[in-house]
A and B are shown apart, each in its own frame.
Chain A
Amino acid sequence: MNFPAELKYSRSHEWVQDNGDGTFTIGITDFAQDALGDLVFANLPEEGDAVTAEEAFGDVESVKAVSDVMSPVTGEVVAINEEILDAPESINEDPYGAWFIKVANVTDTEELLDAEAYEAFCATEA
């Protein structure tokens, strides 16, 4: 399983990338996509929507189940990845490439884990 060192991670299995320009990119982790199985549908917010740390901003559906995707930050959605709407399987194939949303004007961030701590956290969830 893959845990890129440059990312930060939430305990609800999202990854966050600080783009250095005031925006943050958010997706779900390798652990999450593996646990969910074949993803067949993703539901995203719209640009301009507000997201709140530790609250759901969208969901993903596998063949068997639906699962909320939580925002690790409070802010405003400035971009969504429309490619995952058409090809949700790309989340399984490349969880760190198939991002969900980009958020700006971030006013709050939940306590995030680094790659090492997140990998250890996943080991307790498996």
Chain B
Amino acid sequence: MELKTPLYDTHVKYNGKIVPFGGFLLPVQYEAGVIKEHMAVRTACGLFDVSHMGEVTVKGPDALKNLNHIMTNEFSDMADGDARYSPMANENGGTVDDLIVYKKAENDYLVVVNAANTDKDFAWMCDHKIGDCEMENISASMGQLALQGPLAQKTLEKIADPADIPEGYYTANFNGKVAGMDCIISRTGYTGEDGFELYMAAEDAPAMWEAVLEAGEEFGILPCGLGARDTLRLEAAMPLYGHEMNEESSPRYARLGIFIKKDKEEFVGKEALMAQLPLQKRGIGLKVTGRGIIREHCDLYDGDKLVGQTTSGTHSPYFKESIALAIVDAEYKEPGTKLYADVRGRRIEAEIVKLPFYKREK
């Protein structure tokens, strides 16, 4: 059965096109459509329901020790309010999930994981728990909104005390208020733009959604669906679990090697992840130079030689051309290298380009 987020009725009210995703019924787009929603986030701001994401608290004297043991990044130097991205690997060097760890206070962390992986991740974390630490899956009690775009700050300032809005990218305020409701205000996102992720009690999510949309109206805010979320993250070359990484595929192939800390004494999967070096395969970006759109799971050829496969691909609304992420043999890395994608029996020419495709001007 598909679950509904606390905002399901709101999506219906705003004429969202509802589809099943990650076990939830969510809007793939609203009336404006994917392209307009995408461009609103690039030029103004957009609002997403991301309440389907999972939240797990990690508390206790050994909380930090557990995070450093179960995840590949290093969390020892985090200050209160810091956010840190990390892969979570299995013993074979595959990827269990990618996630964000927030430090609320000493011995008190919040881990945000992908919706479809929430139950798997929670079980994995509990199975690998060491020492004195308590983990709790609080996903059902939390709502989450993503307010993203160059005018996200201006929008938020109208309904939150500017002093409550965190300034640094990847920092959060656990004691914020938005439109009078308690809220974690986090300066993070999945679009390549400045913006915020807001965590609130599930029952407050619909009222906060309405308050943010009203505040953003004068700036051209649009409610945005999963379609735009995917095209935005793809232009920013941000990996998506189940596409660029999975249980069998290394986080390194999703270009997450910098979040794997070899100097840590131990962590789950360390041995296998270290044995993957030097890399036999790598994650690259492709721009289509032929005619057509390359999507996921297209085989890639150098002449007659199969050299890899795409993991995501779409038409880029910002560049108005087709782009894709792919995992290929490690020798294929030079920008300008031509490869051919097999798209339903047709060969479409593409060339390797530098990533990310899109980077905002600071």
Chain A interface (Cβ < 8 Å from any Cβ of B): 37-38, 40-41, 43, 61-64, 66
Are A37 and B34 in contact (CB-based, < 8 A)? Answer: yes
Please give me the residue from chain A that is nearest to B343 by CB atom.
Answer: A66
Chain B residues lying within 8 Å of A62, measured Cβ to Cβ, are 34
Are B315 and A41 in contact (CB-based, < 8 A)? Answer: yes
Known A63-B227, A63-B315, A63-B317: A37·B33 in contact at CB below 8 Å: yes
Knowing that A37-B28, A38-B33, A64-B230 touch, tell me 10 more A-B residue pairs with CB under 8 angstroms. Answer: A37-B34, A37-B227, A38-B35, A61-B315, A63-B34, A63-B35, A63-B227, A63-B317, A64-B34, A66-B344
Chain A residues lying within 8 Å of B344, measured Cβ to Cβ, are 66
Chain B residues lying within 8 Å of A38, measured Cβ to Cβ, are 33-35
Please give me the residue from chain B that is nearest to A89 by CB atom.
Answer: B35
Question: Nearest-CB distance from B339 to chain A (Å)?
Answer: 20
Q: When chains A and B are docked, how far (Å) is the Cα of A40 from the Cα of B33?
A: 12
Please give me the residue from chain B that is nearest to A59 by CB atom.
Answer: B344
Chain B residues lying within 8 Å of A41, measured Cβ to Cβ, are 292-293, 315, 322
For chain B residues 30-54, which have a beta carbon within 8 Å of chain A? 33-35, 38
Question: Nearest-CB distance from A112 to chain B (Å)?
Answer: 27
Q: When chains A and B are docked, how far (Å) is the Cα of A37 from the Cα of B35?
A: 9
The yes or no answer to B11 lying at the interface (CB within 8 A) is no
Question: Nearest-CB distance from A59 to chain B (Å)?
Answer: 8
Chain B residues lying within 8 Å of A63, measured Cβ to Cβ, are 34-35, 38, 227, 231, 314-315, 317
Chain A residues lying within 8 Å of B33, measured Cβ to Cβ, are 37-38
Q: When chains A and B are docked, how far (Å) is the Cα of A62 from the Cα of B35?
A: 10
Q: How large is the interface on B (under 10, 10 to 19, 20 to 34, 35 or more residues)?
A: 10 to 19
Question: Nearest-CB distance from B114 to chain A (Å)?
Answer: 19
Which of A40, A43, A63, A66 has the largest number of chain B CB atoms within 10 A?
A: A63
Question: Nearest-CB distance from A101 to chain B (Å)?
Answer: 18
8 nearest A-B pairs in the assembled complex, by CB-CB distance: A40-B315, A63-B34, A38-B35, A38-B33, A61-B293, A64-B227, A63-B315, A41-B293
Between A and B, 21 residue pairs with Cβ closer than 8 Å are A37-B28, A37-B33, A38-B33, A38-B34, A38-B35, A41-B293, A61-B292, A61-B315, A62-B34, A63-B34, A63-B35, A63-B38, A63-B231, A63-B314, A63-B317, A64-B34, A64-B227, A64-B230, A64-B314, A66-B295, A66-B344
Q: When chains A and B are docked, how far (Å) is the Cα of A38 from the Cα of B231?
A: 13
The yes or no answer to B309 lying at the interface (CB within 8 A) is no
Please give me the residue from chain A that is nearest to B19 by CB atom.
Answer: A64
The yes or no answer to B57 lying at the interface (CB within 8 A) is no
Please give me the residue from chain A that is nearest to B32 by CB atom.
Answer: A38
B1-36 vs A, Cβ < 8 Å mask (1 yes, 0 no): 000000000000000010000000000110001110
